[in-house]
Amino acid sequence: MQTEHKTQNPDRPKREAAFAILYGGHVRLLALMENGVLCMPIKKTSVYPEYPWKLACGGKDVAMFVTEEELAYYVLTKIKPDKVIFEVERIEYVAHRVDK
């Protein structure tokens, strides 16, 4: 089966995300690189206990979340990385975004 794919806009910022799939199916964001800026998930229960997870990019808080899975879903659906790396038991899988 042949499919045609649009080429990505070269002016669009490059986004790459790495996730770990843990035992039991839990998903954890390891890191997000967005146009040269490193974003990391941070757990801080002392500041906002109802939203312990936050995404920090370049020293700034981007968003806050209740669970790690909610944070991962946000990255995949709102930030929409061009390249996603999944690590499962030390094996890496790479997926590239396809624009339709």
Model confidence pLDDT, tens digit, residues 22-80: 998 899 999 999 888 999 999 987 777 889 999 999 888 889 999 999 999 999 999 99
Phi/psi of residue 81, each to 5°?
Answer: -65, 150
State the DSSP string of 28-69. Answer: EEEEEEETTEEEEEEE-TTT-TT--EEEEETTEEEEEESSHH
Q: What is the pLDDT of residue 1?
A: 45
Q: Look at the pTM and tell me if it is higher than 0.85.
A: no
Number of domains in the chain: 1
Q: Which two tokens stand for residue 7?
A: 């080429």
Assess if residue 53 is contained within a domain: yes
Judge whether 25 and 33 are in contact, CB under 8 Å.
no
Q: What is the pLDDT of residue 10?
A: 60
* Structural domain that includes position 71: 15-96
What is the band of 87 on the pLDDT scale with cuts at 50, 70, 90?
A: very high
Least confident of 7-16, 22-31, 81-90: 7-16
Judge whether 16 and 82 are in contact, CB under 8 Å.
yes
Assess if residue 7 is contained within a domain: no
Q: Strand, coil or helix: what is 95?
A: strand
Assess if residue 44 is contained within a domain: yes
